[in-house]
Chains A and B, each alone.
Chain A
Amino acid sequence: MLESEPLFRVRNLTTRLNTEAGAIVPSDSVSFDIAAGEVLGLVGESGSGKSVTARASVRLQKPDDAIKAGELWFAGRDLRRLDAAQLRELRASEIAMIVQDPAAALNPVMTVGAQLTRVAREKGMSEQDAAARALELLVQLRIADPTRRLAAYPHELSGGMRQRVLIALALMCKPKLLIADEPTTALDVTVEADILSLLDALRRDLGMAMLLISHNLSVVARLCDRVAVMYAGRLVEIGPTPSVLADPRHPYTAALLASVPRGAKADGPLPAIPGEPPDLARLAPGCGFRARCAQAGPECEKPQTLQQVGDGRFSACWRAIA
């Protein structure tokens, strides 16, 4: 291939976890690329495997041996060959992560400033430079009264403010890739709008790539260049966000989009998806969505794989491929 190597390349990532209900495969042969500066959205419902997949893709999933197969390439390096110390080094400098609940991710007994400077100090930055960088970031993140916030403890801040601090923590070392797991789910809609616009500005200004995990299609639509849709541990569709949202090529994506309320109840019932997401411990071969799919037929009992169905578009539904 002549095209340039993407920043992050995941091929056939497969994870297996032992749960009380039995062994499950939260990610089954998942493949995706993220180019430098690109934002990829990973959409799915709870239990679809999106968080495990994202964490395993940078070897953050515990236990680490849950990763059963696959290739993970980041900036030319094979992540599966790195040892614990090298991984820690990589995460401290090039890959950062923010999570849904900043209250749990921040240290409650350290001030915001101490947490921010500690990250940079571990990277060998001087105390003075680290403090300057921390202040600069809080200003960039539009945190009012930044000097006073540096001296504050997490519990003294609002939810939106804590999420900004967590973003600042992730950005201290200017990462090339930011993994954001439901970064706005715990926030109010106006604060969510502010955080999304902030992330959008950061990716433009810093050229930072992002993997944004969300169950919310509207969040993905606002921020992501491309979107990958996950169902029952497998990617069912991937493609440029506008075209996937306008013209979905997998029945699950289509059903998910249709179930978002648009008009009023006088227009008739919402097109809900019948049934429930499948139990990953009892997943039959074939398309994981077929039990809830209006178009399912005998062909769907065969294993389905992602195949190209258009310009940059891939679907795992044989009907879209045929």
Chain B
Amino acid sequence: MKTPLLELAAVSKHYEVAAAPLAGLLSERPKVRAVEGVSLSVAQGEIMGLVGESGSGKSTLGRLALLLEPPTAGSVRFAGADPQADLNAFRRRAQMVFQDPQSSLNRSKTVGEILAMPLQVHDVGASRVARRARVAELLTSVGLRADAATRYPHELSGGQRQRVGIARALAIEPAFIVLDEPTSALDVSIQAQIANLLVELQQRLALTYLFISHDLRLVRWLCDRVAVMYLGRIVETGSAAALWQAPRHPYAQALLAAATAERAAPSGIGGEVPSPIAPPPGCAFHPRCAFAGPRCAREVPASRGDAQTNVACHLYDGGVA
């Protein structure tokens, strides 16, 4: 097994929600359980996919992996050490690309200034001349012309802006990048260009990715392994090929069937995603699951398997009765 670069151990993130005035005096404030006891390891050089529907907690997990927010419980380890010990050093090695380059790029700065900023903050590229050369190099590496440095974000197309977002993440030569829906805001014909660029960069620079997406075809194409999230928990982890061919968790099965359907057909999981403020007891998926039994409402299924391949469902752990 490859050495893990990122290890999340039983990580949780709860947010307190604003309650009615004085309600907090009487009882505990309600909590949104965005992420609940997630363990995940990402090997050096691996592309790990994270899929799930809105509210599943996948973006929150991405932010926890970068310690953009502190976890409520659990631990994050990076390259075998506690990244909290030297947060600045960690930030140099772990970066993020956002979904919407329109809102994640400062509109009052030129592309050159945007790309020079991380170099200044982290004090890389000592001189102004060296920084300018590095900016030109970055632009070329993401398929833009070096003279794009003088342009403002609004002068670029959506695809070009996302290339700038990627170049900014690469500026300080990180080892690990969290990509949160990096192609979702782009046109179909541009998505494939960006996907190819991400693979090319990953291979050339030996990067490790955590790739968050709801596009299952793209995840299957791009990722080595995939974790499926539902209501704050990982329900299944496995190689992209295995998950695509034979998903085991009933939710993963429904998700894949819905994403690959060729005819209009119901998803087979009626109802709505329950509120993460009051998730159902036991397996959070049981009210919508066709295979659920009494045990599913009683007992939270433990994740069975190893760090590479696992599933959290009573069907694979003694039955649902």
Contacts and interface: CB of A to CB of B under 8 A. Distances in A.
A210 to B, nearest CB: 12
A189 B217 CA distance: 12
B300 interface: no
Contacts of B269: 190
A263 interface: yes
Contact of A273 (B192, B195, B240, B266): B192
A222 B263 contact: yes
A259 B254 contact: no
Given A192-B258, A261-B195, A262-B221, A277 B189 contact: yes
B189 A259 contact: yes
Contact of B264 (A160, A223, A274): A223
B271 A264 contact: no
Contact of B53 (A188, A196, A271): A188
A140 B102 CA distance: 40
21 contacts: A45-B187, A45-B188, A144-B271, A188-B273, A189-B216, A189-B258, A189-B267, A190-B254, A190-B258, A190-B269, A197-B264, A215-B187, A256-B189, A259-B192, A261-B222, A265-B221, A270-B221, A273-B190, A273-B192, A273-B193, A274-B193
A80 to B, nearest CB: 32
B68 interface: no
A46 B240 CA distance: 30
Nearest to B47: A265
B205 to A, nearest CB: 16
B123 interface: no
Nearest to B251: A190
Contacts of B196: 269-270, 272
A260 interface: yes
A191 interface: yes
Nearest to B159: A276
A261 B218 contact: yes
A71 interface: no
A45 B188 CA distance: 7
Contacts, number: 111
Contacts of A265: 199, 221-222
Nearest to B258: A193
Interface residues of B, number: 42
A129 B266 CA distance: 30
A270 B266 CA distance: 30
B255 A256 contact: no
Contacts of B218: 261
Nearest to A273: B189
Contacts of A255: 189
Nearest to B264: A200
Interface residues on A, range: 35 or more
Contacts of B199: 265, 269
Nearest to A222: B264
A107 interface: no
A86 interface: no
A167 interface: no
Contacts of B157: 276
Interface string A198-223: 01100000000000000111100111
B261 interface: yes
Question: Top 5 closest A-B pairs, CB basis?
Answer: A272-B192, A261-B221, A200-B264, A188-B53, A190-B267
Contacts of B200: 269
Contacts of A261: 192, 195, 217-218, 220-222
Interface string B169-195: 000000000000000000111111101
Interface in B190-246: 190-193, 195-196, 199-200, 214, 216-218, 220-222, 240-241
B222 A189 contact: no
A238 interface: no
Interface string A144-162: 1000000000000011110
